Amino acid sequence: MAITTNDLKNGMSLNLPEGLYQVVEFQHVKPGKGGAFVRTTLRNVRTGNQLDKTFRAGEKVEQAMIDKREMQYLYRDGADYVFMDSESYEQMNVAPASLGSAADYLRESDSAVLQMYGDEIVGVDLPAAVELVVTETEPGVQGDRVSGARKPATLETGKVVQVPLFVNIGDKLRIDTRSGDYITRA
């Protein structure tokens, strides 16, 4: 669907010759002389890279319709992840590359919102924090209580995070999905 640059809004997705981009920020500029223009900061939906691009005011651009579907993660099938659509109950095999870092936080029967452009997955919306169980970590040494000391811990999904020394195997932890950092014990 073609729209003009005067209709841009934050969060809108655009299908440009450079690829599929989402508007992070835009500014309509009307200089004293010369034509008006729109200065934008765009984020590549597939790679996450940012691009600064300037458009003439009123220039036509192609808007990309991103469909968000609530899906439930069922199980791993070889290397692929199998998701089920919560409304139609259709199953879909998804390659790990399509999920990106979201694969580190998915457990069986967890829900996620998959952003689809046509049949391609371009993003995954996860909750801000997830609760995962520690499967492997070194025991904290008694007396080793330097403030802020950390040790690596492997979670049930295979992700390794830095945690405080008092965390043990079997503890349930809250992990921030945006940064991948330990928040607290649950």
- Model pLDDT, residue 25: 92
CA-CA distance, 14 to 42, in Å (whole number)?
Answer: 9
CA-CA distance, 163 to 142, in Å (whole number)?
Answer: 16
- Delineate the domains of the chain, giving CATH numbers in brackets: 2-62 (2.30.30.30), 67-125 (2.40.50.140), 129-185 (2.40.50.140)
- Model pLDDT, residue 146: 61
| pLDDT, mean over the chain | 86
Q: What is the pLDDT of residues 113-154, one digit of tens each?
A: 888 888 888 888 888 888 889 999 888 766 656 667 788 899
Q: What is the pLDDT of residues 172-185, one digit of tens each?
A: 999 988 888 888 88
- Model pLDDT, residue 5: 84
pLDDT band of 84, cuts 50, 70, 90: very high
Per cent of the chain over pLDDT 70 is: 95
pLDDT score of 54 more than 60 = yes
- Model pLDDT, residue 115: 87
Looking at residues 37-42, what average pLDDT do you find? 91
Our CA angle for 125, 106, 65, nearest 5°, is: 25
pLDDT score of 162 more than 60 = yes
Looking at residues 78-90, what average pLDDT do you find? 89
CA-CA distance, 25 to 12, in Å (whole number)?
Answer: 10
